[in-house]
Structure 1
Amino acid sequence: MSENNETENPPFKHDWYQTETSVVITVLIKNITKEQLTIKFSESAVDLHINAGEHNSEISRIFKLSHNIVPDQCSYRLASVKIEIKLKKQEGYRWEKLEGACDNVLKTLPQTVIPKSDKPPSYPTSKGKDWSAIEKDICVQEKDEKPEGEEALNKLFQDIYGKGSDEVKKAMNKSFMESGGTVLSTNWREVSKDKVECKPPDGMEFKKWES
């Protein structure tokens, strides 16, 4: 495969949607780390480069935008199954397409036509694609991702706290604060009786900070 073909037809799918002030490009690709990803913004283009690592393969894609953007106000977010690129529009025009020159000068449309929310609209935003279905697929994949280690433990505590009663939440807050983060209890009846003492792990000693 030539470099040109790799640039024009990269091995990932993408879609886009827009608000009154921004354009968001979503690139569907899994397991990319921030060290492998480089994104550069200019007024009329977005240069995406991924060093995939496998067999030293590299993926490049240049989005030649149909309208100008503000490079220093653009950003991107990397998730486990996608890259979300947010572009700041120079003008509040509705883009008829993501890439390519526009023959007609577009006027600003009423705000009811271009939603202010940065959430994806519930209708297709590019020809032949249904953003709602794509977003639903992404959410399913992210939900199936199982956290590990400290992240899994934090998620467990968050789930317990979020689903717990007021007494469970009070018990967790009181025990954690009074014990210096060494005890986390959900039993309010027990915790409410007295101050929760610090219980450091075996082999460790708790010392107060002295100024």
Structure 2
Amino acid sequence: MNVTAVVVAGGGRGEVDALTTVGGEPMVVRSVRSLLATGLIDHVVLLDVDARPDALMSACSGLPVSTRSALAHALSGIGPHVGQRAGTTAGDGPVTAGSADVVLLHEAARPFAPAALATTVVTAVRDGHEMAVPVLPLVDTVKQVDAAGLVQATPDRSGLRVLQTPLAVRGDLFDPLLAPEPLELARRHAAAGGAVHTVPGHSAAFPVRSAWDLELAELLAGRDDG
């Protein structure tokens, strides 16, 4: 099975985004390198949800990436051995269904997700699962509240999980319209009766979306680089 990798590079309207540096390196670069480190792919598509193709290509200079502002068709034609090279022209040329037997979908906002997570979810799909997503047990106590904000119940958290990326999905089940929200893709698939297989997640695959998250990420980068 061929694997097509997509990194959602968004968040340009907030205080932290795909181009924010962590440990001196943009988050999108760290996320791309993590997927390439699996050895499963040799090209990554950047889903440019904020219309910044030049900035993304500049940040990823020297890496085998291209950009798309939308994935209007089922991904294909950008398989691991198709003639894609670093510095390929960005654009929204039609990407027709065919070679993407597995789509590996990741968020640039999770720059420290280990390469092993990507390998594990792809392996799960290759083994016959429709979709695979990393999860962590929910450790915080959660409460159900009513419209007035009053606590009504304490859900049993033993069956609750926090979803992460990268996730993998069989190519023919991939919905490109949901690509900017990878975890929504998993939710919709499960709600429609599809099977979403879970694999053990990793604490380092947390999303960096706020200044607080960024501070934690910098500490992690310092530890890894030290």
TM range (shorter): under 0.3
Q: TM-score, normalised by structure 2?
A: 0.24
Rg larger for: 1
